[in-house]
Amino acid sequence: MVSAGMTEMLRLLHGEPGRLPDGCAAVLGVDHLVVSLAVDGQVTEQLWSSGHVGSTFEDLQFTLGEGPGTDALRTGRMILVHDMAEVAADRWPALLPAVAHLPVRAVFCLPLVLGGITVGVLTAVRSAAGPMTGRETDDAVALVSGLTLQFLGADGVQADSWVGAPLDGGLHREVVHQATGMLSVQLGTSLAQALLRLRAYAYSHDRSIIDAAEDIVSRRLRLDEGDPGPDPDPPEETEG
């Protein structure tokens, strides 16, 4: 269950996109947070960090090309390290000695993913070793869901839908993800862009994303003909 503290953080995040609100790290019981963007599994940009310890750790792991964040992006799974001092030396042979001087014992890297769409990674570091509690884990998952939707441009227009009500309106329906996959082939785009096009179509036609997705999956609607949508992409060759 998401805590009241995190619900408030999500509300603040919605009001000021692009930076994590002060107090987020405290709610998660960690010292520092870093948010990085990724394209094709590679970090492209450190978007925000709460201080130099986190940003130094993040820089080192992506410069050296190994570490929990890299593993999180590659596998789409959370990588939870309770104690860097206990990690086998051959797991991240270049990173471990490089970060040994930092006050970082526990590291939690949570990928920002929606199924096969990866937009970045949240790295949380703590100077004390040990796991997150169950409540902190729920809060961290809620935070990365919020960030993921924000980066996908899917963070609805009404602030109400952000707080309290399910964050993921429509995203619990299989048909929306199926339609996203179909559209990515039709339009020759990434899944992230396809989802954005689906949302843009639904919004501009005043329809729910679920209705629009059902029409696409049942082939009553194509977005690559007739209705170019607000941001047409040139069709590309797709394999298969």
Partner 1 sequence: MTSMSREQRVSAVFVQVADSLIDDFDLIEFLQQLCGHCVTLLDVSAAGILLANERETLHTVAASDETTEMLELFALQHDQGPCLECYRLGTARIDIDLGDEAAVSAWPGFAAQARRSGLRTSHVFPLRLRDRAVGALNLFHHGAQNLTAQDASLAQALADVATIALLQQRDIGQEQLEKAQLQYALTSRITIEQAKGILAERWNSTPDDAFHALRAYARAHQLRISDCARRVIDRTLDTGDIPRPSSA
Query: Which residues sit at the interface with partner 1, rule CB under 8 A?
Result: 1-2, 40-41, 76-78, 80, 113-117, 131-134, 136-139, 141-142, 145, 166-168, 171-175, 177-186, 191, 217, 238-240
**98 vs 182 by CB, closer to partner 1:** 182
Compute the 3-state secondary structure of the chain and give helix, strand, coil in percent, each to the nearest 5: 45, 15, 40
Nearer to partner 1, 101 or 239 (CB): 239
Closest CB to partner 1 among residues 188, 229? 188
The structure tokens listed for 29 are 């019981």
Query: Between 183 and 209, whose beta carbon lies closer to partner 1?
Result: 183
Neighbouring C-alpha atoms within 13 Å toward the C-beta of 170: 23
CB of 190: closest distance to partner 1 in angstroms?
9
In the complex, the smallest distance separating the C-beta of residue 82 from partner 1, rounded to whole angstroms, is 9
CB 107, CB 128: distance < 8 Å: no
Look up tokens 């029409």; give the residue.
Answer: 215
CB 35 within 8 A of CB 49: yes
Q: How far is the CB of 129 from partner 1 (least distance, A)?
A: 13
Number of C-alpha atoms within 13 angstroms, CB side, residue 17?
15
- We find the least distance from the C-beta atom of residue 184 to partner 1, in angstroms, to be 6
